[in-house]
Amino acid sequence: MAYYLGIDVGTSGTKALVTDAGARVLGTVTAPHGIISPHPGWSEQDPRQWWAATVKAVRAVIKKTKIDGKQVAGIGLSGQMHGLVITDAAGEPLRPAIIWNDQRTADQAAEIEEKVGGKRKLISLVGNVAMTSFTLTKLLWVRQNEPRIYEKIRHMLLPKDYIRLSLTGEYVG
């Protein structure tokens, strides 16, 4: 029998679930991970903790459902959006991920709007305003505030994509 594994990298924990071929949920397990807040308005997480939570949750849900892991026919990934995970050439995180609810990048959001000719112009170009929660503003913040780290960046990922990299050893474009 074929089973399917779902992995969701959330803000407070990573959830793993197993379904059968009919999409019936057979079991779920969540492994918690915390938020690092070194300054007011800052919100970071260690991608390595996501991976540890993923391994823990997957092992636990396989055990809970009593399936043979070799029968997993597919894996689906989901997760928090707009988190900035930056890695070096070896795929190692260069710093904690700046996650979606971080608010430090107001200056960078304003800079983007100014460079394109204002908020209305930006909306006409990309269909949205620049927001502190978006990944680009976080990358600009790293470039402006942590230039030594910025110089080492070889890949930029979202949280679920870091888990994909950890599972497969491959980057997906």
Average pLDDT over residues 136-164: 98
pLDDT tens digit string along 6-19? 999 999 999 999 99
State the chain's maximal CA–CA distance in angstroms: 58
**Are residues 81 and 10 in contact, defined by beta-carbon separation less than 8 angstroms?**
no
Average pLDDT over residues 158-168: 97
Architecture of domain 3-168: 2-Layer Sandwich (3.30)
**Are residues 92 and 155 in contact, defined by beta-carbon separation less than 8 angstroms?**
no
| Domain extent listing, the chain | 3-168
CB atoms within 10 A of CB 60: 16
User: Does the structure show a pLDDT above 80 at 47?
Assistant: yes
What's the pLDDT at 172?
Answer: 83
User: Does the structure show a pLDDT above 90 at 173?
Assistant: no
User: Does the structure show a pLDDT above 80 at 52?
Assistant: yes
Exposed/middle/buried for residue 74 (C-beta within 10 Å: 0-12, 13-18, 19+): exposed
